[in-house]
Structure 1
Amino acid sequence: MSLVGDERGQAIQIGAVLLFGVLIISFSTYQAFVVPDQNRGIEFSHNQEVQSQMQDLRNAVVSVGGIRGSQAVSVQLGTRYPSRVIARNPGPPSGSLRTVGTTEPAVNLRIANAQASGETGDFWDEDQTYNTGVVRYTPSYNLYTSPPDTVYENTVLYNRFPSGDLTLANQTFIDGTEISLVLLNGTLSETSTRSATVDVRAESSSTQTVTLDDDGSPITITFASTRSADYWTFLENTQSSVTDVRPAGSVNGLSLVTVELDDSQSYQVQLTKVGVGTGVTDEDTAYLTDISGDGRPVSQGESIALTLEVRDRFNNPPDNATTMQVTAEVAGSGSLQSTTQTPDEDGQVTFVYEATGTTGDQEIRFSYVGIDSDFDATTPQDVSMTVDVTSGSGGGDGTAPAFSSGPTASPSTVTAGTNFDLTATLDDVGNGGTDITGTSWSDGQGNSGTFTADDGEFDQPTESVSDTGIDTTGWDAGDHTITVTGTDGNENTASATVTVTIEDSESSPPSVSSLTVESTGTGMGSSQNVNGLDFDYEFTDESGISTVTTTASNSDIETVSDTQNAGGSSPYANTPSLTFGNTQSDISVTVEIEDTVGNTLTCTATITDKGQTRSESGGGFTCS
């Protein structure tokens, strides 16, 4: 049999070449379209995760007030693509986290036209300026085009897109007449594909507030912002204490914004300095003020405690408090048990004056820079206190104790079913000198309770007392006059009142400003699958939004949910996502919004295919 001229093998060779060509084309298509699409989705999901972590960072910063110590927050700056056997990935995307303006004196917050009473007014007799700045996260992705920078400033967190801004967490520094200013200090600058740990440190913090009034012109707060004054004008509509918001120029590429406050109000101001990164500066003593004892009577032969406090310019205990000394001298008659004291960690010192001399007003002088011929009680470092020495036998002859501070209710207006605190300080020094033995309260409407001593035991002539977390469930709406009664060791009692207003809890549920959900997935036609939901919403509520929970469920994926803590913000906007395994079944979507007093709004929709969008404005959501 002859094989000469047989050409049957050519078909096999041609088929192999064609098959190889098909493989090359398929791989090229996979590399050119599938891999970038998958990696783009990974970058988008990473950006959503970073926004959540920046929320955590923002919450850590704004909650530092009154807390000592630090809190670590992790931010995943970049991400990595999944390993691929044949196809290639681009280099891993990175991101940068840095502070802006925190070391530049020109980038600051200024409080103008404010004054305080008493010795504290010696410091608050001029405008006060505090350096602060911005924390900005900037991603560097390969495929996700035009991602937002996520920016924290002045208690606000927002996404900055090329086309506009989207607020993620609203301001908390103005709440009626309560002003809580959080100032950033330190340098943070890190670029990486890995995570960065940010230590949020309380550099100057306490629960101390200072009462400020205007000095004849309205109090103004001027601060640097990456957003223009036009954005901040919402304060005029949401805060009754804000009368004007206006531009005040610019500095180092940032807008200066001035907020003017109602001059008919007094304001409780709390200042907190938060350190991030390196180069955080210390805060030394800025002024000395009196706390208790000034102007009090004391009988000859008895003694009285005089308490003072050193503070930094944030009105908090200074860093050098426990390494400094306060000196004292009697300018009249009588004596002191000691003439020098070292402040405790709260910045307080207590001197005991003994009425061993003549009757009448006796001056006692104090200073943290030493007392000499230049002593001036009108300066921040010097304080003058007076006691009224009266004739009398002393020894606890039936004189009732006195309230040296309080009673105070915080807050003084609450919604029925929520809590409030009562605090007071009772003093029996100079009024018999026995220990305070107990304190109680009653509103005359069937509600009552007892206080506990802040130091754990009623065993001193001067006691700071409190009753915290008083539950108002079942209380009638309206004003409640609460009588606080303190008792000393001779069974003498003193009473004082404070008013707490209970508001009806039947308030409106949250409302929807905008709400959309879009499904993501794979496949085409009858083979398409849904594997994720992207939400974009904004809600408002008169008491503030507490939480927003998004849920997706069906028989395939069961239930997948995500809860965002809004922290009482209103309006509250966010863009969370849910991811789950592929499903071709209809998906029930639920969004539940709860406000800070327990009112809820529930919105439901149904997703049937990938790429679908449901919106509340378009009737895709039913809310009740």
Structure 2
Amino acid sequence: MSFRHDRRGQSVVVGTVILFGFLILAMATYQVQFVPTENAEIEFEHSQQVEGEFLDLRNAILQAGSTGSVQSEPIQLGTRYPQRTFFLNPPPASGSLQTTGAEAIQVNATVGSGAHENVREFWTQTDPRFNTTSIRYTPDYNEYRGAPRLLYEHSVVAAEFDDAVLLRSDQTVVRGDRIAITALTGAISETGVESQSVDPEPISRSSRTVPITGDGGDVEIVLPTAVDDVTALRDRWAAELPNATVTEDGGTVRIALNGSETYRLGLSKVAVDGGGTTEPAYVVPVSGQNVTVGEDVGVEVRDKYNNPVVGAEVSLNGTTENTNADGRAFFEPDAPGDYNATINGTGGQSYESVVFDVSLAGKGGGVGALTRPVFSDGPMATPNTVTQGNSFDLSAIIDNIGRGGTDIVNATWADAQGNSGTLRSVDGSFDQPVEAVESTGIDTAGWNTGIHIITVTATDGNGNSVSEDIEVKITQSQQSSLADSVELVESDTEINNGNLVVRFRNDNSQSITFERAQLVEYDEANAPGNRDPIGIVEYEYGNVELAEGDSLENVTGPTVSNGANVDIILSPVATGASGNSGGNANVERGDTIEFTVEFNDGSQRTYQYTVP
């Protein structure tokens, strides 16, 4: 038997080869198209994860600077792909976490009233700048194109794309009259796939603020940035600060604030590598500088960030003490004379010493500086120059720790003119030996112009009190006439039952009264022949008819308080050809009314309104 021409197995072999070819083609297609897509999704999810971790790191840095808390935050630098049996993965995606190098933050301002002279002298003589760095994360993905680089600096997390910069968090540098700046120090340089921890530690915790104001110009904050597109970043900061002027200049974002206002500046320094120190910069008294023998004198040593320094050495006429956990040192002079508390050795700058005058005169059985509370911050007025009729705020921090030790129970203010009031506890109740107090919206209507010496007094539970004077300048109001302050609110003016209801708004700081009125012209868009309305009756005026062309007529009110609205009802009265009354007419769309009003200061204003 011959099998030479037998082809019965060929179709099976051919079919198997074709199926195997399709399998190889499908696997190749999956490898080329689907594996990269799936890996890109994994990389995108990792990018989102790192963004969330960066926000946690930002919060940890701000917490360290404001409260002194320490919290380690992990950053997952890269990501790995799932195991694939028949397919190939690229190497794991990696990323780098690095600091960008130190640049200086500047605050161009002058120290305002309420701060000790040593604070002002240190600021003026040293022109302090605060070196800081940024933290940047740069991903190195295999598939995800256009992934953002992340950057932390100055309280914000910025996402840098190739063509845009977006902020992933709010800024906390400027909030109302508060300026909070955290300088970042240390070096980080990590590259890889695994998680790396960043441990922000406070070097100088923000526990004191100082008042600052413009020195004949704006208060300017200069923030160095590591963002490549500074213009785009400037726009983001401008959107965050609509009441400030934000510009860019040579790799910095410059924030200009109203220099006539007073701001509270709080500074802190945070390290991200476990290193860094802060040094004594200046000293301020925390007791009276005129005391008697037997009373303690005390000082607080502060660093360039205006925060207390623990363990600093203080000398008082040959006696040396180290500052306690509050950055303070106390001495008890045993003889009358001048005592000089110094830091950083003798013969230093004026702001490195405080002079105390100790006398023999007693003060009622030894109740003296040791038992009295002190103002550790303030008191201060914001603003300290006020136009008569406007308002200002008072604030202070009162400290009784290490002194009387009892709770602060009361705080008041008063001036020689008889103006007075109380300051409330910011936390809601007087129940601590350290209290932040404030009195907001103090109205100066009726105050005399000139310098007012305001005495702020705080009292503790033992009846011991401390007082300090601050100056508030009241300037003459340059307010224009009442007529310039009364606006016709077109958006709220309407037709009601054929009458025109005109809404006026009093933008003046005092009440105003409508005294006289005159109808200049009433132009009815669709007047029927001889029935042209020539008069209007105002209900609030007591139905006084104001005829077109007549002179100003006396009217009865109304009186409108400052900031309030009033609705005036104007009812047209039609006449016939002979001038006799033809009955009431209706206000219609297209009608135009022009009338003059005189107010109680004698000023006049003419208003015109066309019904839309």
Question: TM-score if structure 1 supplies the norm length?
Answer: 0.60
> Of residues 259, 267, 291 in structure 1, which corresponds to 2:263?
267
Structure-1 separation of matches of 2:27 and 2:17: 15
* 1:304 is aligned to 2:292: no
Paired position in structure 1 for 2:409: 440
Q: d(CA) in 2 for partners of 1:328 and 1:493?
A: 26
**Structure 2 residue matching 1:37: 3-state secondary structure:** helix
Per-residue deviation, 1:69? 5.2
Say if 2:460 is the partner of 1:486.
yes
CA RMSD of superposed structures (Å): 4.1
Q: 2:234 aligns with which of 229, 232, 235?
A: 232
* Alignment-derived partner of residue 13 in structure 1: 13
- Name the amino acid aligned to 2:314: V
Which whole-Å deviations, capped at 9, do the CAs of 1:300-351 have from their partners, x for residues lacking one?
xx52222212222112234xx42x421112xxxxxxxx92211123321011
Shift of 1:9: 0.9
**Structure 1 pair 94–393 and aligned structure 2 pair: CA distance change class (3 A):** closer
Deviation at 1:276, TM superposition (A): 1.4
Answer yes or no: is the 8 Å Cα contact 1:98–1:137 preserved in 2.
yes
Q: Does 1:326 align with 2:314?
A: yes
Distance 1:238 1:264 in 2: 21
Cross-structure match for 1:314? 305
**Is the 2:60–2:70 contact (alpha carbons within 8 Å) kept by the matching residues of 1?**
no
Secondary structure at the counterpart of residue 21 of structure 1: helix
Distance in 1, Cα, partners of 2:401 & 2:270: 35
- Residue equivalent to 1:79: 79
Give the Cα–Cα distance (whole angstroms) in 2 for the partners of residues 492 and 7 of structure 1: 118
The one-letter code of the counterpart of 2:365 is: G
Deviation, structure 1 residue 63: 2.1
Residue in 1 aligned with 2:105?
109
1:149 aligns with: 149
Matched residue of 1:51: which SS? helix
Deviation by residue 1:162-204 (Cα, 9 ceiling, x = unmatched): 1211211121111122111111111111110111111111122
Q: Tell me, yes or no, if the aligned pair for 2:101 and 2:134 is still in contact at 8 Å.
A: yes
What is the match of residue 340 of structure 1?
320
**Does the aligned pair in 2 maintain the 1:451–1:467 contact within 8 Å?**
no
Structure with the bigger percentage of strand: 1
What is the rounded CA distance, in whole Å, between the counterparts of 1:407 and 1:293 in structure 2? 14
Offset at residue 405 of structure 1 (A): 2.0
Q: Name 1:597's counterpart in structure 2.
A: none
Superposed displacement of residue 76, structure 1: 0.7
Cα distance in 2 for partners of 1:57, 1:396 equals 49
Q: 1:40 to 1:426 in 2, by over 3 A?
A: closer
Measure the CA separation in 2 of the matches of 1:445 and 1:326: 34
Corresponding residue SS for 1:31: helix
- Which residue number in structure 1 is paired with residue 59 of structure 2? 59
Distance 1:46 1:76 in 2: 8
Q: Distance in 2 between matches of 1:449 and 1:48?
A: 41
Determine whether 1:405 maps to 2:375: yes
Q: Is 2:155 the partner of 1:134?
A: no
**Distance in 2 of aligned mates of 1:162 and 1:218:** 34
Once the two structures are TM-superposed, the CA of residue 141 in structure 1 deviates from its matched residue by 0.7
The one-letter code of the counterpart of 1:118 is: E
> Where does residue 465 of structure 1 map in the other structure?
434
Residue 248 in structure 1 maps to residue 249 in structure 2: yes
Choose which of 322, 340, 355 in structure 2 pairs with 1:384: 355
Matched letter for residue 96 of structure 2: S
Deviation at 1:392, TM superposition (A): 6.0
Instruction: Report the counterpart of residue 123 of structure 1 in structure 2.
Output: 122
Alignment partners' CA distance in 2, 1:111 and 1:339 = 37
SS of alignment partner, residue 64 of structure 1: helix
| Shift in CA distance, 234/49, structure 1 to aligned 2, threshold 3 Å | closer
The answer on whether the counterparts of 1:96 and 1:190 sit within 8 Å (CA) in structure 2 is yes
User: Structure 1 vs Structure 2: percent identity of aligned residues?
Assistant: 30
> Cα–Cα, structure 1 residues 161 and 216, in superposed 2: closer, same or farther, change >3 Å?
same
- Tell me the distance in 2 between the aligned counterparts of 1:195 and 1:452: 45
Question: Deviation of residue 235 (structure 1)?
Answer: 5.6
Distance 2:351 2:424 in 1: 47
1:129 deviation in Å? 1.1
Q: Does the CA contact (< 8 Å) of 1:452 and 1:467 recur in 2?
A: no
Determine if the alignment matches structure 1 residue 29 to structure 2 residue 29.
yes
Decide which moves more: 171-180 or 259-268.
Answer: 259-268
For the structure 1 residues 393 and 445, does the alpha-carbon distance in structure 2 shift closer, same or farther, using more than 3 Å as the test? closer
| CA spacing shift, 1:211–1:353, aligned 2, 3 Å | farther
SS at structure 1 position matched to 2:324: coil
Q: How does 1:542-557 map to 2 (within 5 A)?
A: none
8 Å CA contact retained: 2:322, 2:329: yes
User: Which residue does the alignment assign to 1:541?
Assistant: none
Give 1:262's aligned amino acid: N
1:353 and 2:333 aligned? yes
Report the alpha carbon displacement of residue 256 of structure 1 after superposing the two structures with TM: 2.1
**Hey, what's the Cα distance between the residues in 2 that align with 1:424 and 1:311?**
17
Query: Offset of 1:75 from its aligned partner?
Result: 0.8
* Equivalent pair of 1:212/1:269 in contact (CA under 8 Å): yes
Q: 1:363 to 1:132 in 2, by over 3 A?
A: same
Could you tell me which amino acid in structure 1 is paired with residue 298 of structure 2?
Answer: T
- 1:425 is aligned with what amino acid? D
- 5+ residue gaps, structure 1, are 250-254, 330-337, 413-420, 430-434, 454-463, 471-476, 498-624
When residues 31 and 446 of structure 1 are mapped into structure 2, their CA distance, relative to the original with a 3 A threshold, is closer
Q: Which amino acid aligns with 2:253?
A: V
User: For residues 370 and 133 of structure 1, do their structure 2 counterparts lie closer, same or farther at Cα, with a shift above 3 Å needed?
Assistant: closer
Q: Distance in 2 between the 1:22 and 1:240 partners? A: 63
In structure 2, relative to structure 1, the CA distance for the partners of 1:203 and 1:485 (3 Å cut) is closer
Q: Tell whether the 8 Å contact from 1:294 to 1:386 is kept in structure 2 after alignment.
A: yes
Query: Cα–Cα, structure 1 residues 224 and 328, in superposed 2: closer, same or farther, change >3 Å?
Result: same
Q: How far apart are residue 228 of structure 1 and its match?
A: 2.3
Contact 1:108 1:132 in 2 (8 A): yes
In the alignment, which residue of structure 1 is the partner of 2:285?
Answer: 290
Question: Which amino acid in 2 is paired with 1:311?
Answer: R
2:234·2:248 contact (CA, 8 Å) conserved in 1?
no
Choose 1 or 2 for highest CA Rg.
2
**2:253 matches 1:257:** yes
- CA distance 1:388–1:220, change in 2 (3 Å): farther
Task: Confirm or deny: 8 A CA contact 1:70 1:201 kept in the other structure.
Answer: yes
CA distance in 2, matches of 1:9, 1:273: 84
1:151 shift after superposition: 1.1
Where 1:81 maps in the other structure, the secondary structure is coil
- Distance (whole Å) between structure 2 residues aligned to residue 150 and residue 10 of structure 1: 63
Query: Aligned pair in 2 of structure 1 residues 229, 221: CA closer, same or farther (>3 Å)?
Result: farther
Please give the alpha-carbon distance, in whole angstroms, between the structure 1 residues aligned to 2:98 and 2:402. 54
| Secondary structure of 2:340 counterpart | strand
Q: Distance in 1 between matches of 2:370 and 2:352?
A: 34
Q: Does 1:167 align with 2:167?
A: yes
Using the alignment, how far apart are the partners of 1:6 and 1:428 within structure 2?
112
Aligned counterparts of 1:277 and 1:428: Cα–Cα separation in 2:
34
Deviates most, 139-148 or 229-238: 229-238
Deviation readout 1:216-240 (Å, 9 max, x if unpaired): 4443222211252564366667658
Q: Alpha carbons of 1:342 and 1:47: their partners in 2 closer, same or farther (altered >3 Å)? A: same
> What is the aligned partner in structure 2 of residue 363 from structure 1?
338
Asked if the contact 1:61–1:274 (Cα under 8 Å) also holds between the matched residues in 2, the reply is yes
Q: Secondary structure at the match of 2:199?
A: strand
Equivalent position of 1:607 in the other structure: none
Greater CA drift, 93-102 or 223-232? 223-232
SS in 2 for 1:54: helix
| Aligned-residue offset at 1:32 | 1.1
State how far apart, in whole Å, the 1-side matches of 2:272 and 2:266 are.
20
> How much has 1:264 moved relative to structure 2?
1.4
Q: Following the alignment from structure 1 to structure 2, what is the Cα–Cα distance between the partners of residues 230 and 385?
A: 54
| Structure 2 partner of 1:600 | none
Change in 2 beyond 3 A, CA 1:175/1:389: farther
- Equivalenced residues, count: 429
